[in-house]
Structure 1
Amino acid sequence: MAWLVVLLSAANTLFWYFIWSAYLMFKKGTFSFLLIFLFLACSSEKNTFTNRAFHNLTSHYNAYYLADTKINEVKKEVRNKYKEDYTQILPVFIPIDSATIDSNEEVLENARELASKAIEWHRISKWVDDSYFLLGQIDYLQGNFDDAQNTFKYVNVNAKDNDLRHQTLVALLRLYVDLGEYEKANFTIDYLSKEEEISDANRYELYRTLAYYYESRDDLNGVLGALDKALDYEQDKKEASRINFILAQRYQRSGLDALAFDYYKKALDGNPPYERSFFAQLYAQQVAELNKSKDLKKVRNYYEDLYKDPKNKDLKDVVVYEMALFEEKQGDLDRTLELLHQAAKEPGSNPRQKGYIYQKLAEINLDQFRDYRATKYYLDSALTFIKDTDPVAIQIQEQKEMLDQYVFHVERIEQNDSLMTLAKKSPEEQRLIAETYIKSEEERLLREAAEAQQPQSSSIFDNLLAFNDRGTTSSFYFDNSLVMQQGAIDFRRNWGTRPLQDNWRRSAVSFQDANPTIAAPSETDSVSVEEDNPLNQLPDIDELLGQIPSSPERLQALDLELEESYFELGKLLFFELKEEEQSITNLETVVREYPESSKKPEAYYLLYLAQKDLGGNYEQYSARLNREFPDSRFTFSVNNPHAASGNLAYLKSSEEYAKAYDAYYGGNYSQSKSIIRGALESYPLTRNTERLMLLDIMNTGKTESKANYRAELENYIANSQDSALVDLARNMLYPLLSEEELASLNPQKDTQSDSTAVNPDESTEQNVDIDLSESPYKVNNSQTHIFVLAMEPSQAETAERLLGDLENFHAKNFSNARLRTGNMNMSRENAIYIISPFTSADQAKKYYEIFVKEFKSENLPQEIINSSFFISIENFQTLNKSKNLDEYRAFFKSAY
């Protein structure tokens, strides 16, 4: 801002110079000459030095300056109103909130008017193109993307200032990414890569926009590289802190804890907001120490201290949630659930955190208990805290589609079955059941009131203990919610629901004043007594009895609904939830209770498939189909499991498979599953069936938990007859297996090298001495190091057992080192596996020496093992920018 102060001072000085000159000329009688001079200078028709100077000055520090200031004010408000969600990977750019833009419509229109005046009134000034750029920015903020694009293109073509052109091209690149026009974005990137003398400010925005481009394409390595470059040009320390936090999050998600720790520490620099500091410290402790600590008491004390810290009063839900995740890793499921329920009740500054808590509860209920109803309702709760536009919300909605159908049919079966059972009872029995139900609801309300009356401990862990009579409840009636609740229930039992009025006990109420002595609450009252009364939750007995069906038509309608729900639930359990036994139960209900059902042939067929999967008596359903429905397409499918390749069913199912495959690779997993289900129902038991089922499992791997994914793969491997598909499924299963399971499947090979083994000391690479002082890499033996194994992406794909072999190698040789393995694509040419952390170069060197001599892995050439290296964290950041592995290997051989 110093330059702006100088320029404004100069403008001020020039203004007073004109005033002083006018005063002198007035004294000398030449004031009229000065007025003519100023009039001529104001003209935008003449392009003289005086005219240009005047218009440059007035345009820049009047219309343009004010318009730019107003635009920046709106951008600042967008940033300030955005609530960062540090539990998720932060976006490169803060999203533009349309509500904030709409509320600032008048400000932006004022800025548009000023920028337009700068163009119209000062046509010969050098700020015309800059003013057009402001107009493009306003259109972009307001979502007028076509106008913004045209304006940016105009400025790029007509602007003479290279800095402005580069600034405009970067803005245009971001717009192309917003619109998903990646071909145009690629062209813009290529054009900018050939431009010279790009200013530091523009380079910073360019690399940030490149990171945004790679973010939108799910290219992790591209995001990392672009953000690393952006840091070289960032002048704002708070923004640098945010970028470092993003890099740390992405490295942590990739399993590269050593790198994540380094960036979390950097994120603490630059006086960041307290919440970012809190999460940076929390996650840095996780990747550095907590997840590896054997001292459980130390870890729990760490979380307890965070919980008690007054500065974290708005982050207590985060602390308890992280504690729950820690206890989950210790295998204490009961403790995990208690802490998650506690976290849902704790105060927090980020509503989305509550959504993630409920999402975790849903995940546990699904994976551990297979409780689909609880899972559905927890996901419903999660969506009340997460915006519909969030990617997490979209993912939950896709997962919930199936669960919504499940719960709908389960609850309809329960409700209709209960109503039909009640309909068969006498009126007296119906009334007795209704009264018993109301009494049970009263008891439930009492229990809830008692729980609310329990004293709260100040400790996070004491809060989870059952009430142990520490402290006493209040003796004052209106302070004791339990006593008030009991009194209200007793009153209702004795006197029913009565309005607030005097003499309410008299039977002849008509003789009393019709107007109650105590006025009813008005609409303006802040609290309504009736609304707060928990007894309003109790149903009326006549209302309950009115729900019981009495007419034959109503009973028939309920019965038809039952038939539909049993059948649809059976299909859902078989195809979507892979619950064959429950599916059989529901489908057998259909064929037993509804012998004339039109759904009976398909029910027989699904029972045939389910029993076959379970190894049961599936032939009985084949016989029933042939006896009862000889002309059904389901009977044909059972009788012809290996239909000829040229038949219509095979061709049609092949078309459906292609559609499902395209949807899968387009990321539309829910759509892919829907296509697969339709194909399996319409064209069952073709030669495509097993291909469709494996593709369905691949969709499961993208949308559901690892436990479900693994279970389906194991079931497929056990039942599939296609050896090629079984091998493919095994390759998908290996990364999900534990170290012990991998070892049992593939015992450790003899690691002693034979006479044909390549000696690591005789590597094909040349030992090239380089001048270390001129290298971009620096020797720092005391810094944390990581070990790198680099190869082509195709080699990484063929080395299927590499991760498992690395884990076995570590267990055998470095069992106490707590080493971690992660992998990433450094570039299109190189995929790398990273083993970390090593606290010094000496430790890394010991690992390296043992590794090159003893490590073996199927399909991994020895030359890749020999070309491995270790590198300090600081040097890795340099390498990740340059991507030049050969350059670092030369440094490695000379330095180590």
Structure 2
Amino acid sequence: MNRTKNIFYFFFALVVISCSSERNTFTNRLYHNTTAKYNAYFYANAKIEELEEGIRLNHREDFSQVLPVFYTVDSAFIEQNEELLTEVKDFASKAIDWHRISKWKDPSYFLIGMADYYNAKFDDASNTFRYLNVNSKNKKIRHQSLIQLMHLFTDLKNFDDATYVIDYLSKESGISRENKFQLYKTLAYYYDSREDVNGKVGSLDMALGFTKDKKEKSRINFILAQLYQREGMDALAYDFYQESLKGNPPYERSFFALLYAQQVAELNKTKDIKRVRSYFDDLYNDSKNKDLKDVILYEKALFELKQNELELAEALLIRAAKEEGSNPIQKGYIYEKLAEISFDVKNDFRAAKFYLDSAMVHFRPTDPPYDFIVARKEILDRYVEHYDIVTKYDSLIQLSGMSREEQEMIAEAFIKKEEERLLNEATEKDKSKSSTGIFDNLLAFTGRGSGESFYFDNAQALQQGSIDFYRNWGNRTLQDNWRRNVQNFQSTATAPNNVQINETDGELTDEETDENPLLSQIPEIETLLAAIPSDPEKINSMKLDLEKAYFEVGKILFFDLKVPDISIEYLESLITKYPNTIKKPEAYYILYLANKESGGNSEIFVQRLNREFPESPFTMAVNNPDGSTGNQAYLESSRNYKEAYELYYNNQYSESRKIIRTTLEAHPLTKNTDKLMLLDIMISGKIDDTNRYKERLENYIQTVENNDLTNMARNMLAALTGENLQTDESDTADLVDELEEETTKEEDAALEETEEEDSPYEVNPNQTHIFVIVLEAEKAKDSKNLLADLESFHSQNFASSRLRTGNMNLSRENVIFIVSPFNNAERGIAYLEKFVNDFQTPSISADDKANSFLISIENFQELNKRKNLDEYRNFYKKAYQ
């Protein structure tokens, strides 16, 4: 008994003695290593693993694209799991604070760095990984930190620093097998980000040799197979797809591996079309592929497109869209492909717009097709808005000019046509029906099969019955005892009591009861007739909207949708139906361009413009097709406008007009065109007759869309006619001065844009930066203590930053003193502010300090070649200040 007590007291004393986190004894280390590993560190690591597993499960694999090397991190998912990251940091901090002498301190720091990384606190994560690289004695943790640092730099597209880490690691020895695997995977990610396929393939191939994890191998083999398939190396692709089937991969990836392997082996090469179709049909009918039927139909549609079977491919895609499927992103590709067919092949831009609407529902902003869809949809949205006005208003305006009897005949014909369409759909439905089995066959012998003799199995008979009911009884709701219900026994033109009219758009909305879905497809004759406008004011408003819509559709079709032939149809309809349209000069100009592009008679529109609108800028544009455009043309026309205005102000009207006309001929269509035209009209008011001046003002007000300019023109017209006189000529001059200020701002913006376009320097805040002090060569000779003063300044203020200093001759005139490296522009700016405020030395003046600047590595190489400090300083002011 005493012996047991003694052992108990011994171990109790051992624990008490070992509680110190500072004493570096064997017993203390043993205690802290054990408790850190199996308590705080264990839980922190478990939480990180839980988060990473969640990231994997949350990730949606997109098999239409090459799979990403690492699972994508969704910021929304991270926000939902913020508590996990907090727990990681809490547990890891305890492992560090309570067990400082344990060997699990550095791994715990690494987990804190990973928590910051997943939380997008990249600066904090970077500092932690750098700290471990410098201070940790654990080689494995040092390498882990460097690999993760390389991953972080690649995320931020900071390729210079990523390359630096790669070079550093290439000289390291003793990298563990596990770290080599992560290193080569991260290298693959780095090369992928730089669009270097060869580097990516080589890195993934190396990674395979350093892991025994069958799941990892399977996924990497699949990625390699995809890369080889895209490079046209089908034999290698086939082998890697077969390898990817090992390791018990998820069924969906297995399915795609088999499908793509079959493609590279046979499907893309065989001439036996029937066998390929049979292969897809067998896949579709396999019960194991229940959740992948949309994929199979999509792939079969792609195959049919290669055979130029457009209608069959489109039908397959529509079927695919109706299948449930297990991966939402697949639906996005199905709708996108339908949109592509409608857009590129059928020129059905309205259908393309609605298919893209559906596609966007299934894509996230991070998915590859998203940005392209958004850009194309913006154009199609505008097109459909105006196209719908054309198709709707054109018919309604025509109908409004007919007699009531003619309107009724057309309405009845439309309803009959709708009934025929529904019956045809029912017939097609019957044709597509297949036997449901032996019971269906037995019923057929008794007259109750799916043949025409049994009413409720005959879709066409059901449809005909619904139509007959509608003809006899009208738009009735489905409810009990409706025959005896007097209050519901009403004419077809009256809405039932339980249906309300939506006051905002005139649509009927159901309440509480179900209606025959057929009724929503067959309109009543009264409804059709009521939609025909009869109010002259309403008809006139519709005509104005229709005129604008014809022009906008034609313009969009030419400039945005690149279909000149269809554009010509709409613009010619505009001119025919609205011969006095204010858009006629621009319509002529677009018709000139469209005919020129499609090989039509473009010269006729040159003649029309010169004959009907000799002073239009569009006329000047066709007379001088080589006239310059863009920022340079805008800047030159701005300078000429100012010169012309000065001459006008000094009553030199002929000289001013000469500059205006010359400018419009050289640069016919710029942002300054409308201002130049108005100034020319103002000269008309001084030297031309009154009728000419008035005519030009009226035409300008109708055709120009700039509100400020049209207001000026209205004021001038009011001053001329004396009607509604609001301003005098001095007020107009004030408006001109205001426009001058706006012009100056626009010029500055255009000048900046031009300079940026021409600048050899690029903005890249995530690159490594250098801080530069520039001194004249003579002054640099007297600044021998500058480097020593900088070193002293760094030791006092940036002791942990490992900054280096140096100097070099930039040119004969200038010597530069360099401080480096700064991880990014933000850190460089922080240094610059501290330098300007606190750095003291007799070697440089306050102006020298103020003229110091930051520069990225790539831009420094360019500066060193060009030697032009003023050029870089102009760029620096815009990019950094």
TM over 0.5: yes
Change (3 A) 1:500 1:381: closer
Percent identity over paired residues:
56
Change (3 A) 1:413 1:75: same
In structure 1, what is the Cα distance between the partners aligned to 2:71 and 2:64? 15
Would you say 1:630 and 2:608 are equivalent positions?
no
Change (3 A) 1:156 1:493: farther
1:382 is aligned with what amino acid? Answer: A
8 Å Cα contact 1:156-1:165 kept in structure 2: yes
8 Å Cα contact 1:313-1:347 kept in structure 2: no
In structure 2, what is the Cα distance between the partners aligned to 1:647 and 1:44? 69
Change (3 A) 1:264 1:457: farther
Would you say 1:148 and 2:137 are equivalent positions?
no
1:594 is aligned with what amino acid? Answer: Y
Question: SS where residue 78 of structure 2 aligns?
Answer: helix
Cross-structure match for 1:560: 544
Once the 2 structures are TM-superposed, how far is the Cα of residue 479 of structure 1 from its aligned partner? 6.5
Cross-structure match for 1:242: 219
Once the 2 structures are TM-superposed, how far is the Cα of residue 215 of structure 1 from its aligned partner? 1.6
Q: 2:450 aligns with which of 445, 455, 472?
A: 472
Would you say 1:228 and 2:205 are equivalent positions?
yes
Would you say 1:612 and 2:593 are equivalent positions?
no
2:348 is aligned with what amino acid? Answer: D
In structure 2, what is the Cα distance between the partners aligned to 1:418 and 1:534? 25
In structure 2, what is the Cα distance between the partners aligned to 1:199 and 1:135? 22
Change (3 A) 1:528 1:123: farther
**Structure 2 counterparts to residues 285-296 of structure 1, below 5 A:** 285-296=262-273
Would you say 1:407 and 2:416 are equivalent positions?
no
Would you say 1:504 and 2:504 are equivalent positions?
no
Change (3 A) 1:318 1:683: same
Cross-structure match for 2:801: none
Once the 2 structures are TM-superposed, how far is the Cα of residue 540 of structure 1 from its aligned partner? 6.0
Q: 2:375 aligns with which of 398, 401, 404?
A: 398
Cross-structure match for 2:95: 118
Question: SS where residue 268 of structure 2 aligns?
Answer: helix
8 Å Cα contact 1:591-1:597 kept in structure 2: yes
Once the 2 structures are TM-superposed, how far is the Cα of residue 390 of structure 1 from its aligned partner? 1.0
**Structure 2 counterparts to residues 195-210 of structure 1, below 5 A:** 195-210=172-187
Q: 2:5 aligns with which of 18, 23, 27?
A: 27
Question: SS where residue 212 of structure 2 aligns?
Answer: coil
Change (3 A) 1:51 1:418: same
Question: SS where residue 291 of structure 2 aligns?
Answer: coil
8 Å Cα contact 1:605-1:634 kept in structure 2: yes
Cross-structure match for 1:774: none
8 Å Cα contact 2:592-2:606 kept in structure 1: yes
Would you say 1:253 and 2:241 are equivalent positions?
no
Which string of whole-angstrom CA distances, capped at 9 and with x for unpartnered residues, describes residues 680-737 of structure 1?
964999xxxxxxxxxxxxxxxxxxxxxxxxxxxxxxxxxxxxxxxxxxxxxxxxxxxx
Once the 2 structures are TM-superposed, how far is the Cα of residue 500 of structure 1 from its aligned partner? 5.7
Would you say 1:597 and 2:581 are equivalent positions?
yes
Cross-structure match for 1:494: 472
Would you say 1:358 and 2:358 are equivalent positions?
no
Change (3 A) 1:528 1:232: farther
In structure 1, what is the Cα distance between the partners aligned to 2:336 and 2:483? 51
Cross-structure match for 1:834: none
**Structure 2 counterparts to residues 365-384 of structure 1, below 5 A:** 365-384=342-361
Cross-structure match for 2:106: 129
Change (3 A) 1:471 1:46: same
In structure 2, what is the Cα distance between the partners aligned to 1:169 and 1:531? 67
Once the 2 structures are TM-superposed, how far is the Cα of residue 288 of structure 1 from its aligned partner? 2.1
Once the 2 structures are TM-superposed, how far is the Cα of residue 343 of structure 1 from its aligned partner? 3.4
In structure 2, what is the Cα distance between the partners aligned to 1:600 and 1:162? 77
Question: SS where residue 85 of structure 1 aligns?
Answer: coil
In structure 2, what is the Cα distance between the partners aligned to 1:190 and 1:410? 59
In structure 2, what is the Cα distance between the partners aligned to 1:338 and 1:644? 48
Once the 2 structures are TM-superposed, how far is the Cα of residue 285 of structure 1 from its aligned partner? 2.1
Which string of whole-angstrom CA distances, capped at 9 and with x for unpartnered residues, describes residues 96-125 of structure 1?
234443443434433332222212222332
In structure 1, what is the Cα distance between the partners aligned to 2:458 and 2:669? 60
Cross-structure match for 1:418: 395
Q: 1:92 aligns with which of 50, 69, 72?
A: 69
Once the 2 structures are TM-superposed, how far is the Cα of residue 448 of structure 1 from its aligned partner? 4.4
Q: 1:569 aligns with which of 550, 553, 560?
A: 553
In structure 2, what is the Cα distance between the partners aligned to 1:473 and 1:109? 68
In structure 2, what is the Cα distance between the partners aligned to 1:364 and 1:680? 38
Change (3 A) 1:155 1:547: farther
Question: SS where residue 514 of structure 2 aligns?
Answer: helix
1:210 is aligned with what amino acid? Answer: L
Give the aligned length. Answer: 616
Once the 2 structures are TM-superposed, how far is the Cα of residue 58 of structure 1 from its aligned partner? 0.3
Using structure 2 for the length normalisation, give the TM-score: 0.63
Change (3 A) 1:494 1:299: closer
The RMSD of aligned alpha carbons is: 3.8
Q: 2:242 aligns with which of 262, 265, 271?
A: 265
Question: SS where residue 313 of structure 1 aligns?
Answer: helix
Once the 2 structures are TM-superposed, how far is the Cα of residue 542 of structure 1 from its aligned partner? 5.8
Once the 2 structures are TM-superposed, how far is the Cα of residue 536 of structure 1 from its aligned partner? 4.4
In structure 1, what is the Cα distance between the partners aligned to 2:134 and 2:449? 78
8 Å Cα contact 2:617-2:669 kept in structure 1: no
Change (3 A) 1:214 1:476: same
8 Å Cα contact 1:454-1:473 kept in structure 2: no
Structure 2: gaps spanning 5 or more residues: 437-446, 490-497, 500-510, 638-666, 674-881
Change (3 A) 1:330 1:583: closer
In structure 2, what is the Cα distance between the partners aligned to 1:423 and 1:641? 44
8 Å Cα contact 1:238-1:272 kept in structure 2: yes
Cross-structure match for 2:296: 319
Once the 2 structures are TM-superposed, how far is the Cα of residue 31 of structure 1 from its aligned partner? 5.4
Cross-structure match for 1:190: 167
Cross-structure match for 2:768: none
Change (3 A) 1:492 1:203: same
Cross-structure match for 2:316: 339
In structure 1, what is the Cα distance between the partners aligned to 2:9 and 2:267? 82
In structure 1, what is the Cα distance between the partners aligned to 2:2 and 2:73? 54
In structure 1, what is the Cα distance between the partners aligned to 2:48 and 2:139? 22
Question: SS where residue 554 of structure 1 aligns?
Answer: helix
Which string of whole-angstrom CA distances, capped at 9 and with x for unpartnered residues, describes residues 294-348 of structure 1?
3344434433433333322322333333333333333444443343344334453
Would you say 1:106 and 2:83 are equivalent positions?
yes
Using structure 1 for the length normalisation, give the TM-score: 0.62
1:494 is aligned with what amino acid? Answer: N
8 Å Cα contact 1:530-1:536 kept in structure 2: no
8 Å Cα contact 1:241-1:267 kept in structure 2: yes
Once the 2 structures are TM-superposed, how far is the Cα of residue 614 of structure 1 from its aligned partner? 4.1
Q: 2:605 aligns with which of 616, 621, 625?
A: 621
Which string of whole-angstrom CA distances, capped at 9 and with x for unpartnered residues, describes residues 500-534 of structure 1?
655533475499xxxxxxx99xxxxxx98627845
Cross-structure match for 1:773: none
In structure 2, what is the Cα distance between the partners aligned to 1:531 and 1:208? 60
Question: SS where residue 614 of structure 2 aligns?
Answer: coil
Cross-structure match for 2:155: 178
Once the 2 structures are TM-superposed, how far is the Cα of residue 498 of structure 1 from its aligned partner? 4.7
Q: Which has the larger radius of gyration?
A: 2
Which string of whole-angstrom CA distances, capped at 9 and with x for unpartnered residues, describes residues 24-57 of structure 1?
66534x8556544422211224333322221111
Question: SS where residue 362 of structure 2 aligns?
Answer: coil
In structure 2, what is the Cα distance between the partners aligned to 1:273 and 1:135? 32
In structure 1, what is the Cα distance between the partners aligned to 2:631 and 2:594? 25
Once the 2 structures are TM-superposed, how far is the Cα of residue 541 of structure 1 from its aligned partner? 5.8
Once the 2 structures are TM-superposed, how far is the Cα of residue 201 of structure 1 from its aligned partner? 1.0
8 Å Cα contact 2:482-2:488 kept in structure 1: no
Cross-structure match for 1:777: none
Which string of whole-angstrom CA distances, capped at 9 and with x for unpartnered residues, describes residues 481-507 of structure 1?
655555454444434445565553347
2:571 is aligned with what amino acid? Answer: L
